[in-house]
Structure 1
Amino acid sequence: MTILLADPRVQAIPVCDNGDPLVPLSFAREVRVRTGLAVRLHEARDALPGGVDFRIVEGHRSAHDQQAIIDRYTDELRGHYPDADETALHKLSSRFVAPLAVAPHVAGAAVDLTLVDEDGVDLWMGTPIDATPEQSNGGCWFDAEVDRVARRNRTTLASALLSAGLVNYPTEWWHWSYGDRYWALSTAAKHALYGPAEAGVLA
């Protein structure tokens, strides 16, 4: 059974922030992540087959931007699920955007990424990156039923990132993290390595 980011078990994970700074990725200078994640993304990149590379869409995100995404998506969900109460909407929302208290992006511990060919063209992954569960009819889940090409590309993505110690959030094939609470729960670590980070503070 998939554990969502809204699950109390995620928030119950203690955080012992190791102080790793936010740094720009050398191959995506506009994206900033914690040093530990940056090192592992380089390792994962080296594990990709020839002619394939990562395209990093997003890394660290401010708490303000995270809350804006939560609010926008929750409003969309009210249209899809008019009978859902706030508790149900909170859970539904967490399939696509993390609650602020546990958000991996806010900690600088996550990236949204996909694969590209040697010309920089996105490989087919079954859905566009950042497609919501409603937009993709559930195809955004990593293990969703997709065609052979998309499954092969998702497997290539996962193989490289798992080998470097990252974990996937199962409802989003593009979301991978290291050092956050979800990573700690998934790997049975005693605590998370990273809590919320502000770009001007941990830089």
Structure 2
Amino acid sequence: MKPYQHVLIAECGESLVPLSLTEFAVVTPHPYVERGAPYGDRSPYWVRQSVATALTQAQLNLQAMPLGWRLQIFDAYRPLAVQQFMVDHTAQELAQQQGLDLAKVSDLARQALMEAVYQFWALPSADPKTPPPHSTGAAIDLTLVDSDGQPIDMGSPIDEVSARSHPDHFHNQSHAYSQQVHQHRRLLRQVMSEAGFEQHPNEWWHFSLGDQMWAWRRAQVTGQTAIARYGNITPAG
């Protein structure tokens, strides 16, 4: 289990709602849908109602700055089937990058691959005590775009399985490009944290509000025990 999965959940029953695809920039076509992820009649642009409200506030925080930038939503709600699909896809992709055939690797090599995958992807657990963050409707992956809708350089793409994905990876690098990228990441973290979100420790793009990850990060900051209010959810929930 990951540390945040020990946090207790007191499900509040709040509904999933669709994000406004005119209020926020979005990635189209959706990359997981394009790969064949099994969303069915569900949408990667759903979140809990309070998360949607907080995202609007984060957007307002950003627009209060004289940059003309917007939030671009990459991904939000994931059914468990999609979580499993993307874990399998990432493992296959990582194996190919290493010149390996995932179907033929040794158990030891497979274990090493999956350990790398699970640094960035949550286990597709159906256990109500350990839901994947995105399957709660409380987690969101996002980035920044400029006034023309062009992505701001964040130093690495969303979902990259590498050290570059860590939020402060570029912090201690002195050359100008690294510092610029670090400032972009700091800005995203600032507008999101001011709206109540907490950032994933390994992923510059991942923020959540109300799930186990959020509660765990809050407890680290405040020193007080926190309880999550969102668990795994179905569209009817």
Give TM-score scaled by structure 1 length.
0.84
Is 1:179 aligned to 2:210, yes or no?
Answer: yes
Alpha-carbon shift at residue 71 of structure 1 (Å): 1.7
The alpha-carbon deviation at position 10 of structure 1 amounts to 2.2
- Cα-to-partner distance string for 1:11-67 (whole Å, 9 max, x where unaligned): 221111111111112224961100111111111111112301100011101110101
In the alignment, structure 1 residue 195 sits paired with structure 2 residue 224: no
> Could you list the runs of 4 or more consecutive aligned residues of structure 1 that deviate by over 3 angstroms after TM superposition?
75-91
Q: Secondary structure at the match of 1:179?
A: coil
Of structures 1 and 2, the one with the larger relative CO (CA 8 A, separation 6+) is 1
Match of 1:21 among 15, 18, 25: 15
How far apart are 1:85 and its partner, in Å? Answer: 6.1
The yes-or-no answer on 1:33 pairing with 2:64 is no
Q: Give the Å deviation of 1:75.
A: 3.6
The corresponding residue for 1:3 is none
Match of 2:199 among 168, 172, 195: 168
Letter of the aligned partner of 2:11 in structure 1? D
Q: For residues 47-62 of structure 1, what are the structure 2 equivalents within 5 Å?
A: 47-48=61-62, 49-50=65-66, 51-62=68-79
* Letter of the 1:120 counterpart: G
2:124 is the counterpart of 1:100: yes
- Please name the residue that 2:189 is paired with: 158
Instruction: Tell me the residue number matched to 2:35.
Output: none
Worse-matched range after superposition: 73-82 or 117-126: 73-82
| Structure 2 residues without counterparts, runs of 5 or longer | 27-42, 126-130, 171-176, 220-224
| Secondary structure in structure 2 of the residue aligned to 1:159 | helix
Unaligned runs of 5+ in 1: 1-5
User: What letter is aligned with 1:182?
Assistant: M
Q: Give the structure with higher Rg (CA).
A: 2
Query: CA distance change for structure 1 residues 43 and 97 in 2, over 3 Å: closer, same or farther?
Result: same
- Asked if structure 2 preserves the Cα contact closer than 8 Å seen for 1:143 and 1:170, the reply is no
Aligned-pair CA distance for 1:128: 1.8
The structure with the largest strand share of the pair is: 1
**Superposition RMSD in Å:** 2.2
Give the whole-Å Cα distance in 2 for the aligned partners of 1:85 and 1:127. 26
How many residue pairs align between the two structures? 191
